[in-house]
Structure 1
Amino acid sequence: MDYSAFDAVLLLSFGGPEGPEQVRPFLENVTRGRNIPPERLDDVAEHYLHFGGVSPINRINRALIDQIRVELGTRGVDLPVYFGNRNWQPFVEDTVATMRDNGIRRAAVFATSAWSGYSSCTQYVEDIARAREAAGPDAPELVKLRPYFDHPLFVEIFADTVTAAAAELPGDARLIFTAHSVPVAADQRCGPRLYSRQVAYAASLVAAAAGYDDYDLAWQSRSGPPQVPWLEPDVGDHVSTLTAAGTKAVIVCPIGFVADHIEVVWDLDEELRSQTDAAGVALARASTPNADPRFARLAVDLIDELRDDAAPARVTGPDRVPGCAASINGEPCRPPHCVAQGTGD
């Protein structure tokens, strides 16, 4: 495939409600086919309603798109940037149809997930394939950019936010990285523990960059039935263990997320903070990339890798990079593996 030119960029994300009346339909979209009990949806809906029924994610993504446009302009590249979501407006199917009608023929797709694995990578490829199929034979070619968990700017941003959070606390605060938990079986779906190994690898890179030799990795936001094994320890349980051992201050870095959306601001800023306040433990939560201009630079860097057929920029650690099962010799996934032309392969 000729990657020498793109005529658009598509930012592809998860989506979120932007009003109270949208919360329940959004959650039904997210959980369709998963047999989630209605009472569980009611519980999660309360998290959104606590913030007026508005998720921060669309606002953050629109700000990031503005930054991507600026970064493209600084490089002398004139490309329109489109926005599509899996679970809420603007739906990716509608966006790709608009791109088709606008005459777009080939677009680079930047997904708001840094990882390989099914939910964080393959499902976005499926989203692209579904949207192209809905758009018909004139749908644009869409090329998903590679996972970027070890990109220098990803590591730099999180190292800076850890340092900023640490400045709020005593010097002996314990550093804890968190990411979204998934079922243990799902962590095997695209290669042995692919997602969890990538999270652990990225945490080691960020910890080193921020000057930490010792830290912990925990998981958050689990939503499955208790009889199904998920990645552990849960961050709340882990903080309880640390508290019992005498820890008085913790820095929590949600390295698994690229935006301060509901699963960050509710699970960490509300629930975990309530727990630490009750236990007399000081908590500082590191920010995520959000619309940091460096995150926009990262996105455009990934496009340039394809345009220039350049080697991926990445920070290397002492361990082997946990690469996608579709890659070669354990190297991180990159084209032609991360593509979507309607097949979902």
Structure 2
Amino acid sequence: MSELVRNATPAAAEGPEHVTEPTQYDAILLASFGGPEGQDDVIPFLRNVTRGRGIPEERLEEVAHHYRAFDGISPINAQNRALQIALQAEVDRRGLNLPVIWGNRNWDPYLADALREASDAGHKKLIAIATSAYSSYSSCRQYREDFAMALDESGLGDVLEIDKVRQFFDHPGFVEPFIEGVREGFAQLAAEVPDLNLETEVEVLFSTHSIPSTDAARSGPEARGFGEGGAYQAQHLAVAEAVMLAAESSAPWQLVFQSRSGPPSMPWLEPDINDAIAELPARGIRAVIIVPLGFVSDHMEVKWDLDNEALTSAAEAGLAAVRVPTPGIHPAYVSGLVDLVLERVQATPAAERPAVTKLGPWYDVCRPGCCENVRLGFKPAISGLAP
């Protein structure tokens, strides 16, 4: 059998959209972004995040104050430790012999160290779960590139096979916590503002990380024809619609963006959540429900950009506001991640895989040219057909 996908197991090596052969893995690789765990870590961490982009030190200092407001400690590492424990408990509960090994892209424990840990324990076939649900360069392909770099850095490229679960934006386990959160958000607003009309005076803002428009346009397979926002925007819109339908609400809603970091001259996805909030009172909106739809846990972009900046914007606009929780270690989310692993272990047919939108279930092996970074070009990556 030919091998078209780097370091893939035999079931994925030829690049099928969905695998049709069961695979017995040795371990689960939980991969995340990483974050600083003290004031001295902040600038080195930001240098890791922005390496190769020529970001000046003064710009890093501007971003650093977000972390310094939390004593230099990003919440994300504690959240990943909790997720690792919860995943291991669910794996054990189901009787699967799969240790969960955690590694980060940008801070300790690094991915290369996680691969060494796996290899030292005798594990050769890994199934990776990245803590990012959607298709784009930063949320999918960059993980796949970092896996390839970690294989090279660790010297284990001839030893390890690594597959990656599909993007899980519309898996029920990821979506259910947001449905619960929106329902509870409406209930909370009804209690706090008794005369509020929940169908006409509340707007639901589904928020996700903004990305450069050029990257958005190239997210997902070009053949799917998603348009200017690419698969990234299409996936978020489809999930938001599914959440509102399941929450049985006809309130107005929109997809908004946050946390942009590029220069003003570079187009990024809009509208910014704070700009969107400022326009709501003129339309008769008296309250907002903020749904961090693009995020799996309450890390810095949620704690600072939403809980600080967006809620402040809502208060300045005179709006009552509720921020919905992220999945975190919600039982449905944790169980759903294990379900994604079992799809590959059991080679579950695509027609039997759950998806709450018509866009999924997404691909086991990323398609050629998927999620290109226009500025950086294509680098070697696993779990996808070249380039």
Structures share fold, TM-score greater than 0.5: yes
Taking the aligned partners of 2:58 and 2:50, their CA distance within structure 1 comes to: 13
2:290 maps to amino acid = V
Call closer, same or farther: CA 1:284–1:80 in 2, change over 3 Å.
same
The aligned length equals 335
Taking the aligned partners of 1:102 and 1:138, their CA distance within structure 2 comes to: 16
Q: Paired residue for 1:154, among 174, 178, 200?
A: 174
Taking the aligned partners of 1:343 and 1:96, their CA distance within structure 2 comes to: 22
SS at match of 2:280: helix
Q: What is the CA-CA distance between 1:130 and the residue it aligns to? A: 0.9
Taking the aligned partners of 1:344 and 1:49, their CA distance within structure 2 comes to: 40
Taking the aligned partners of 1:70 and 1:288, their CA distance within structure 2 comes to: 20
SS at match of 2:188: coil
SS at match of 2:296: coil
Aligned to 1:300: 338
Q: Paired residue for 1:39, among 45, 51, 58?
A: 58
Taking the aligned partners of 2:384 and 2:217, their CA distance within structure 1 comes to: 25
2:248 maps to amino acid = G
Call closer, same or farther: CA 1:302–1:146 in 2, change over 3 Å.
same
1:19-58 equivalences under 5 Å are 19-58=38-77
1:178-197 equivalences under 5 Å are 178-190=207-219, 191=222, 192=227, 193-197=230-234
2:52 maps to amino acid = G
Match status 1:108 vs 2:127: yes
Q: How far does the alpha carbon of each residue in 1:278-336 deviate from its partner, in whole angstroms, 9 at most, with x for none?
A: 2221110001001112221111101110111113533344xx41x6xxxxxxx621247
Q: How far does the alpha carbon of each residue in 1:202-243 deviate from its partner, in whole angstroms, 9 at most, with x for none?
A: 111112111223311111111100111110100000010112
Taking the aligned partners of 1:246 and 1:118, their CA distance within structure 2 comes to: 38
SS at match of 1:259: coil
Are the equivalent residues in 2 in contact too, given 1:128–1:342 (CA < 8 A)? no
1:149 maps to amino acid = F
Q: What is the CA-CA distance between 1:138 and the residue it aligns to? A: 4.6
SS at match of 1:169: helix
Match status 1:142 vs 2:162: yes
1:233-312 equivalences under 5 Å are 233-312=271-350
Q: What is the CA-CA distance between 1:80 and the residue it aligns to? A: 1.0
Aligned to 2:7: none
Match status 1:212 vs 2:249: yes
Q: How far does the alpha carbon of each residue in 1:65-105 deviate from its partner, in whole angstroms, 9 at most, with x for none?
A: 11111111111112111000001111101111221122111
Taking the aligned partners of 2:309 and 2:132, their CA distance within structure 1 comes to: 24
Superposition CA RMSD, Å: 2.0
Taking the aligned partners of 1:215 and 1:140, their CA distance within structure 2 comes to: 45
Q: Which runs of 4+ in 1 moved over 3 A?
A: 335-339, 341-345
1:295 maps to amino acid = Y
Taking the aligned partners of 2:366 and 2:284, their CA distance within structure 1 comes to: 50
Aligned to 1:173: 202
Taking the aligned partners of 2:356 and 2:95, their CA distance within structure 1 comes to: 30
Taking the aligned partners of 1:69 and 1:93, their CA distance within structure 2 comes to: 21
Taking the aligned partners of 1:336 and 1:233, their CA distance within structure 2 comes to: 29
Call closer, same or farther: CA 1:39–1:166 in 2, change over 3 Å.
farther
Aligned to 1:224: 262
Call closer, same or farther: CA 1:100–1:164 in 2, change over 3 Å.
same
Taking the aligned partners of 1:342 and 1:243, their CA distance within structure 2 comes to: 46
Aligned to 1:326: none
Are the equivalent residues in 2 in contact too, given 1:64–1:292 (CA < 8 A)? no
Normalising by structure 2, we get a TM-score of 0.82
Normalising by structure 1, we get a TM-score of 0.92
Taking the aligned partners of 2:302 and 2:152, their CA distance within structure 1 comes to: 33
Are the equivalent residues in 1 in contact too, given 2:366–2:385 (CA < 8 A)? no
Are the equivalent residues in 1 in contact too, given 2:365–2:384 (CA < 8 A)? no
SS at match of 2:213: coil
Match status 1:203 vs 2:240: yes
Are the equivalent residues in 2 in contact too, given 1:61–1:291 (CA < 8 A)? no
1:222 maps to amino acid = R
Taking the aligned partners of 1:336 and 1:122, their CA distance within structure 2 comes to: 9
Identity of aligned residues (%): 43
Runs (5+) with no aligned partner, structure 1: 324-330
Call closer, same or farther: CA 1:205–1:163 in 2, change over 3 Å.
same
Aligned to 2:382: 340
Are the equivalent residues in 1 in contact too, given 2:39–2:73 (CA < 8 A)? yes
Q: What is the CA-CA distance between 1:167 and the residue it aligns to? A: 2.0
Q: How far does the alpha carbon of each residue in 1:130-187 deviate from its partner, in whole angstroms, 9 at most, with x for none?
A: 1112222453211111000111111211101122222221334211101100010011
Are the equivalent residues in 2 in contact too, given 1:236–1:272 (CA < 8 A)? yes
Q: What is the CA-CA distance between 1:342 and the residue it aligns to? A: 10
Are the equivalent residues in 2 in contact too, given 1:57–1:260 (CA < 8 A)? yes
Taking the aligned partners of 1:332 and 1:88, their CA distance within structure 2 comes to: 29
Q: What is the CA-CA distance between 1:188 and the residue it aligns to? A: 1.8
